[in-house]
């Protein structure tokens, strides 16, 4: 048995550019948590997850209960988490749909421990994580260029840091951002975060991208920011094969179902199918043709494989969602995608937007928009403890304790609501 001896939970903060979305704008720091599980036999395994206070306190709450458990028995670890974690107050007003917060808690908390245990199992057996998931079906995992409208720099801060991407509020600037990102990373498909400007203006940007990159598939994601009426008006403009898929155009599964009935363009979601509990309704309403998986809240890498199997059964496409993240998450995403044959779309990643790292060797390289699946044991990355200490200090000093794009936007525009749908 390889028993858990100690679990280190380290909240971190790293620079995040002022990226715009329907809710508002990213704050100057993004938060994550790095988990390190140490075993009695001297190995360590890594995991990365959200860095909001609620997640950190739930991770800290369950960690002592896992000491002494066998890292190979993740079923027992999951059961333990389920039995000890405090579910959020259903009346907190934070629930997207009644019960959702509770239903996503166990998968969200378990996921990061599962990844760290898989890293450990790989190190102990000398096999990469994708081998533990049944073996890789591809040697490289493709990611997409994830474009954002953005301000040139963060306002209302003493912080002199400015990112290297510049302002992007016009179609020309979005194309320039795409060119820069594709030159640097070689991405072979493009996603535009939308819901920021009038939809017609955003479609102009898509058309400019089509002209600049005639061979690359395009996606647009207004995060539920459009009404069904607005989307209906826009469908003709998308009808010319402009889109690979249309991501979360409208708010809620019912509205997604209404749009789905009007078009052959596949609808994708990371917002309205966020756990297994949402799937029956999605099938009943035929509200989504592509599910964007995310091991961070679907319950880990094996759960992502289970989701993939369900998608296969119901003839639903599968892609992958991302939030601001660093390399441990990127490697976990890469191993999962490497072991899932029906994950055929390029995955999303925010990785180009981040400058810092916590892993030895710094940023993970991309080749032609893809990450090579490593053959090294476990996830294939090691923790850079000096870098971790710097980012932990950032967390202590940055003053942010939960992401709040709405509040950040109110600094620029005091009457900002950040509600959806917006257009
Ligand atoms: O980083 O602003 C952002 C994104 O909008 C992110 O929060 C979303 O979760 O990337 C995500 C998405 O595809 O909806
Ligand atoms: Mg999305």
The pLDDT of residue 95 is 63
The pLDDT of residue 90 is 74
Catalytic residue among 154, 302, 321, 335: 321
Confidence of residue 73 (pLDDT cuts 50, 70, 90): very high
Do the beta carbons of residue 352 and residue 185 sit within 8 Å?
Answer: yes
**Under DSSP, is residue 333 helix (H, G, I), strand (E, B) or coil?**
helix
Distance 196 CA to ligand 2 centre (A): 13
From the CA of 21, give the closest atom in ligand 1: 2
Confidence of residue 1 (pLDDT cuts 50, 70, 90): confident
Angle formed at CA 322 by CA 219 and CA 258, multiple of 5 degrees: 50
Report, as an integer, the average pLDDT of 307-336.
Answer: 98
Report, as an integer, the average pLDDT of 270-295.
Answer: 97
Dist. CA 22–CA 406, nearest whole Å = 9
pLDDT over threshold 90, residue 30: yes
From the CA of 405, give the closest atom in ligand 1: 2
Fold type of domain 3-126+384-397? Enolase-like; domain 1 (3.30.390)
Fold type of domain 130-372? TIM Barrel (3.20.20)
The pLDDT of residue 98 is 61
Give the tens place of pLDDT for each residue, 124-169.
Answer: 999 999 999 999 999 999 999 999 999 999 998 888 999 999 999 9
pTM exceeds 0.80: yes
The pLDDT of residue 346 is 98
Q: Is the CB of 163 under 6 A from ligand 1?
A: no
Distance 45 CA to ligand 1 centre (A): 27
Give the tens place of pLDDT for each residue, 326-350.
Answer: 999 999 999 999 999 999 999 999 9
Closest listed residue to residue 60, CA positions, set 79, 38, 84, 88? 84
**Mean pLDDT, rounded, of the chain:** 96
Q: Is the CB of 323 under 6 A from ligand 1?
A: yes
Higher pLDDT pick, 82 / 94:
82
Confidence of residue 102 (pLDDT cuts 50, 70, 90): confident
pLDDT over threshold 70, residue 184: yes
Confidence of residue 94 (pLDDT cuts 50, 70, 90): low
Give the tens place of pLDDT for each residue, 37-48.
Answer: 999 999 999 999
Report, as an integer, the average pLDDT of 22-47.
Answer: 97
Dist. CA 101–CA 87, nearest whole Å = 8
The pLDDT of residue 235 is 95
Going from N- to C-terminal start, the domains of the chain cover 3-126+384-397, 130-372
Catalytic residue among 136, 154, 193, 302: 193
From the CA of 26, give the closest atom in ligand 1: 2
Distance 103 CA to ligand 1 centre (A): 21
Q: Is 180 a catalytic residue?
A: no
Give the tens place of pLDDT for each residue, 231-240.
Answer: 999 999 997 7
Dist. CA 49–CA 34, nearest whole Å = 7
Distance 419 CA to ligand 1 centre (A): 15
Predicted ipTM? 0.96
Distance 247 CA to ligand 2 centre (A): 6
Do the beta carbons of residue 325 and residue 353 sit within 8 Å?
Answer: no
pLDDT over threshold 80, residue 194: yes
Whether the link from the prior residue into 161 is cis, omega within 30° of 0, is no
Residue with CA at minimum distance from ligand 1 atom 4: 323
Give the tens place of pLDDT for each residue, 345-397.
Answer: 999 999 999 999 999 999 999 999 999 999 999 999 999 999 999 999 999 99
Q: Is the CB of 349 under 6 A from ligand 1?
A: no
Q: Is the CB of 322 under 6 A from ligand 1?
A: yes
Binding-site residues sit at: 26, 100, 146, 191, 221-223, 270, 321-323, 350, 403
Report, as an integer, the average pLDDT of 14-39.
Answer: 98
pLDDT over threshold 80, residue 298: yes
Q: Is 65 a catalytic residue?
A: no
Concatenated DSSP letters of 88-135: PPTTSS--SSTTHHHHHHHHHHHHHHHHHHHHHHHHHHT-BHHHHTT-
Pocket perturbation via mutation, ligand 1, pick of 246, 268, 321 by most ligand atoms within 8 A of CB: 321
pLDDT over threshold 80, residue 91: no
pLDDT over threshold 70, residue 99: no
Confidence of residue 13 (pLDDT cuts 50, 70, 90): very high
Closest listed residue to residue 54, CA positions, set 87, 80, 8, 84? 87
Dist. CA 330–CA 320, nearest whole Å = 11
The widest CA-to-CA distance across the chain, in whole angstroms, is 62
Q: Is the CB of 21 under 6 A from ligand 1?
A: yes
The pLDDT of residue 351 is 98
């Amino acid at each position: 048995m390889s028993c858990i001896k100690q679990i280190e939970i380290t909240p971190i903060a790293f620079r995040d550019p002022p990226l715009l979305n329907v809710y508002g704008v990213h704050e100057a720091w993004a938060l994550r948590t790095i988990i390190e599980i140490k075993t009695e036999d001297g190995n360590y395994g890594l995991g990365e997850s959200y860095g909001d206070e609620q997640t950190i306190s739930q991770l800290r709450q369950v960690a002592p209960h896992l000491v002494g458990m066998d890292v190979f028995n993740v079923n027992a670890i999951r059961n333990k988490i389920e039995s000890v974690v405090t579910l959020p107050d259903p009346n907190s007003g934070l629930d997207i749909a009644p019960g959702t917060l509770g239903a996503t808690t166990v998968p969200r908390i378990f996921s990061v421990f599962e990844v760290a245990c898989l890293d450990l199992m790989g190190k102990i057996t000398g096999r990469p994580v994708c081998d533990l998931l049944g073996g890789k079906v591809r040697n490289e995992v493709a990611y997409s260029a994830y474009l954002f409208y953005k301000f040139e720099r963060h306002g209302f801060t003493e912080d002199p840091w400015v990112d290297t991407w510049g302002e992007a509020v016009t179609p020309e600037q979005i194309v320039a951002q795409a060119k820069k990102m594709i030159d640097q990373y070689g991405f072979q498909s493009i996603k535009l975060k939308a819901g920021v400007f009038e939809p017609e203006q955003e479609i102009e940007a898509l058309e400019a991208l089509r002209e600049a990159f005639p061979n690359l598939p395009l996606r647009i994601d207004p995060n539920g920011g459009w009404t069904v009426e607005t989307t209906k008006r826009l469908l003709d403009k998308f009808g010319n094969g402009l889109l690979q898929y249309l991501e979360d155009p409208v708010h809620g599964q019912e509205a997604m179902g209404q749009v789905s009935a009007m078009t052959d363009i596949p609808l994708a979601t990371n917002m309205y199918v966020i756990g297994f509990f949402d799937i029956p309704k999605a099938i009943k309403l035929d509200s989504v043709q592509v599910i964007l998986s995310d091991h961070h809240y679907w319950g880990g890498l094996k759960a992502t494989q289970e989701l993939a199997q369900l998608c296969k059964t119901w003839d639903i496409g599968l892609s992958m969602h991302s939030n601001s993240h660093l390399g441990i998450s990127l490697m976990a995403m890469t191993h999962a995608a490497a072991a899932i044959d029906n994950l055929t779309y390029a995955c999303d990643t925010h990785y180009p937007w981040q400058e810092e790292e916590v892993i030895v060797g710094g940023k993970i390289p991309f080749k032609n928009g893809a990450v090579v699946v490593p053959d090294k044991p476990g996830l294939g990355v090691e923790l850079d403890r000096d870098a971790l200490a710097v980012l932990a200090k950032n967390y202590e000093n940055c003053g942010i304790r939960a992401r709040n794009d709405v509040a950040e936007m109110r600094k620029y525009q005091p009457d900002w609501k950040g509600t959806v749908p917006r257009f």
